[in-house]
């Protein structure tokens, strides 16, 4: 039985927690390319995902993973052909990834997983990324409002942030950039994709790589020039299909269940696909 390991790379408020909970709900209740194996019952280390799913069943957003959390969830899965695999899925506070960037230091727990992982899952929430299309205009604003300068000076342009962070992580993982990268495989998930446009019935979406190229052109160029084409995929992801409030009670989640909510836009574009396991199935070759 295979035991593939993935590294999940997502900062604060990137949708990492909700995707993990929704993924668990999908493979358990509405299997697609991947399903949950129940041959030995539900492992105790899935309790964190159970809690996320419980919040969604009540129609409310789950709490974000605390900043100091580091745990490893083991998902016992099988693919559509019945091949069994245990997928190791990290659970951590998104602030830790930002600390890696700011301190230029990678904890040993991260180092070993980056080295061993077959695939990386990169979550980028385009709408929340800071960019400065006109650097001179931005500099003028900072000079006019000096009281706000200290705060804004530490906000990197997201293009520079992600490119430098990826270079740092590749270096730690011992991955060279002379030849096109073949391992780790990379799945980029553009999270909260419903923030762009409503997923109206029958709507055909453009390939998500276009959205990445439009919003973060340097990130797009870096990824596509360093990874081999057949080990890179870019997806649109809406884990919930709509925003949820922490104290809300969305009726569609209560009445229909969270397993009927959320979707992905495949790399080639097209209509939304409810199988949230598709990006992971692609990563592990299922």
* 276 pLDDT more than 90: yes
C-alpha pair distances (Å), 244 with each of 66, 117, 241, 248: 19, 32, 9, 7
Q: What is the pLDDT of residue 67?
A: 54
**Does 183 or 89 have the greater pLDDT score?**
183
pLDDT tens for each residue of 222-243: 999 999 999 999 999 999 999 8
pLDDT tens for each residue of 123-180: 999 998 988 876 555 555 655 665 544 444 447 899 999 999 999 999 999 998 889 9
* 259 pLDDT more than 50: yes
pTM of the full structure: 0.88
Of 88-102, 175-189, 213-227, 248-262, least confident by mean pLDDT is: 88-102
Give yes or no for a contact between 207 and 141, defined as CB atoms under 8 angstroms apart. Answer: no
**Does 180 or 198 have the greater pLDDT score?**
180
pLDDT tens for each residue of 66-85: 656 667 788 888 998 888 88
**Does 152 or 248 have the greater pLDDT score?**
248
* 89 pLDDT more than 90: no
Topology of the domain covering 6-283:
Rossmann fold (3.40.50)
Q: What is the mean pLDDT of residues 27-42?
A: 81
Q: What is the pLDDT of residue 137?
A: 58
* φ/ψ of residue 213, rounded to 5: -65, -35
Q: What is the pLDDT of residue 153?
A: 41
Q: What is the mean pLDDT of residues 46-72?
A: 80
The CA distance from 91 to 24, in Å, is 13
Give yes or no for a contact between 181 and 118, defined as CB atoms under 8 angstroms apart. Answer: no
Q: What is the pLDDT of residue 35?
A: 93
Give yes or no for a contact between 282 and 187, defined as CB atoms under 8 angstroms apart. Answer: yes
Q: In the structure, what pLDDT confidence band is assigned to residue 100 with cuts at 50, 70 and 90? A: confident
């Amino acid at each position: 039985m295979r035991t593939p390991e993935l590294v999940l790379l997502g900062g604060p408020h990137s949708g990492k927690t909700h995707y993990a909970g929704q993924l668990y709900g999908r493979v358990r209740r509405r299997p697609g390319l991947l399903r949950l194996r129940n041959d030995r019952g539900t492992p105790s280390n899935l309790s964190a995902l159970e809690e996320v799913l419980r919040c969604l069943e009540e129609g409310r957003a789950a709490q974000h993973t605390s900043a100091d959390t580091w745990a490893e969830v083991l998902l016992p899965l099988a693919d559509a052909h019945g091949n069994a695999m245990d997928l190791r899925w990290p659970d951590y506070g998104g602030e830790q990834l930002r600390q890696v960037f700011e301190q230029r230091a990678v904890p040993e727990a991260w180092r070993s997983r980056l080295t061993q992982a077959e695939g990386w899952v990169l979550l980028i929430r385009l709408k929340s990324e800071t960019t400065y299309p006109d650097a001179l205009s931005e500099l003028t604003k900072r000079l006019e409002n000096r009281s706000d300068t200290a705060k804004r000076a530490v906000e990197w342009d997201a293009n520079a942030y992600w490119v430098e962070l990826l270079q740092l992580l590749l270096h730690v993982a011992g991955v060279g950039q002379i030849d096109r990268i073949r391992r780790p495989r990379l799945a980029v998930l553009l999270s909260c994709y419903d923030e762009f446009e409503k997923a109206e019935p029958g709507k055909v979406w453009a390939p998500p790589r276009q959205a990445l190229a439009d919003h973060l052109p340097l990130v797009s160029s870096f990824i596509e020039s360093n990874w081999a084409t057949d080990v890179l995929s870019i997806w649109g992801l809406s884990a919930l299909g709509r925003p949820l409030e922490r104290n809300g009670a969305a009726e569609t989640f209560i009445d229909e269940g969270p397993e009927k909510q959320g979707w992905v836009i495949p790399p080639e574009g097209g209509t939304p696909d409810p199988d949230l396991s598709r990006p992971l199935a692609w990563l592990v070759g299922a």
